Structure 1
Amino acid sequence: MKTFRLVGLTIEVQGENGARLEEIPLSDGLIINKEDGENHWMIEALLQKEHRSYFETLSQKKNELHIYVTISKKTNKPAEIVAKIKSIMVLEEHISVLFEGRMLARKAKNEPEKLLEDLLTKGLHGEDLKKAFKQKLKEQRELNVKKSPQT
C-alpha cells in the first residue's frame, strides 16, 4: 500500500438541475492506494464538525458517490473516484470521514463541460463566466504541459 496526502476533496451532488460539484474544505486528509490490482483506494478526510450531518445524510443513502480527490499538491489534477462512505468518526474538534472506492480512468473529453457546470453553479454568467472559463482552461493546459514528459 502507498499513502499520500489528500489536499482537495470535491463531491459530485445530483440535484434537480443535474449534477454540481461541491468543494469540501479539508482540515487534513490521507489517501491510500491499496495496490490490489483492482485500483481500490481508501480516503480519510478530516473535516470540521459542521459537516457531520451532511456526511451522515450521504452515508445513510448508501449510494456510490463520485468524488474528486487532489493528491499531494493543490496544483495536481483531481482524480475521480467512485466511493462509498465506510465510517464517520466524531473526534474532539473534527470528524473523520472514511471512504472506500475505485479510481476511474480520466475522461478528458468531459472536463470542459464539468468545468463549465461548476462555474455556472457558482453563479457566474455573461462576461464573468467567459473570463473564468478561459482562465481555468489555460490553467489546465499549463498543468498538462508541466506534467508531460520532455522529448
Structure 2
Amino acid sequence: MKTFRLIDLKIELDPQQDKMSSIPLCDGLIINKEDGENHWMIEALIPKKHRQVFEVLFQQHTEVKILVTITKENNRPVHLSVQVKNIVALEENISVLLDGKMITNRYRTETEEVLKDLVKEGLSGEKLLDAFKQNT
C-alpha cells in the first residue's frame, strides 16, 4: 500500500445538480490499496460542522462521487466513487473514513474523446464550452 497526503476534498452532494461542494480539510491521507482493482481509502480530518453531511451518507450506505487532490495543490484532481465507512468525533473535528474506487481514468478518456469530437465539428470558444458541458 502507498500513502499520500490529501490536499483538497470536494463532494457531489446532489447528483442532479452535477456540482461539487468543497469540504475544508484540517488534514488527511489517501491510501492506494494496490489490490489490482483500484481501491483507495481516505481518512479526512474535517470541522465538526460538516458532520451531518457524512452522517446521512453513512446511515444510508450511499455511494457518492468525490474529487480529491493528492500531494500537491497543483496536481490534477482525481475522481473517486466512495462510501463513508466510519466517523469518529474528536475534540474540535471529526475523522471521516471513506473507501472506494478511482474512476478518473475512464472519465478522463471519455471526456477527452468528447472534446476531440467537438473540436472536429469546428466548435470553439463559448460554443465549444457549452457543447462540452452538455456532453459530459
Specify if TM > 0.5: yes
* 1:18 to partner: Cα distance: 2.5
- Please say if 1:101 is aligned against 2:87: no
* 1:110 to partner: Cα distance: 3.9
Structure 1 Cα separation of the partners of residues 84 and 93 of structure 2: 17
- Please say if 1:74 is aligned against 2:73: yes
- Unmatched tracts of structure 2, length 5 or more: 113-125, 130-136
Structure 2 Cα separation of the partners of residues 47 and 91 of structure 1: 10
Structure 2 Cα separation of the partners of residues 51 and 14 of structure 1: 16
TM-score normalised to the size of structure 2?
Answer: 0.76
Q: In structure 2, the residue corresponding to 1:107 is in which secondary structure? A: helix
TM-score normalised to the size of structure 1?
Answer: 0.69
Q: Give the conservation status (yes or no) of the 8 Å contact 2:46–2:95.
A: yes
Structure 1 Cα separation of the partners of residues 48 and 106 of structure 2: 32
Structure 2 Cα separation of the partners of residues 102 and 47 of structure 1: 21
* Identical-residue share of aligned pairs (%): 53
Structure 2 Cα separation of the partners of residues 90 and 42 of structure 1: 19
RMSD: 2.0
Instruction: Look up the match of 1:5.
Output: 5
Aligned length: 113
Give per-residue Cα distances to partners, 1:76-111, cap 9 Å, x unaligned.
111111110000000111100000001112523548
Instruction: Look up the match of 2:119.
Output: none
Structure 1 Cα separation of the partners of residues 13 and 52 of structure 2: 15
- Please say if 1:63 is aligned against 2:62: yes
- Unmatched tracts of structure 1, length 5 or more: 112-129, 134-151
Q: Which runs of 4+ in 1 moved over 4 A?
A: none
Q: Give the conservation status (yes or no) of the 8 Å contact 1:80–1:106.
A: no
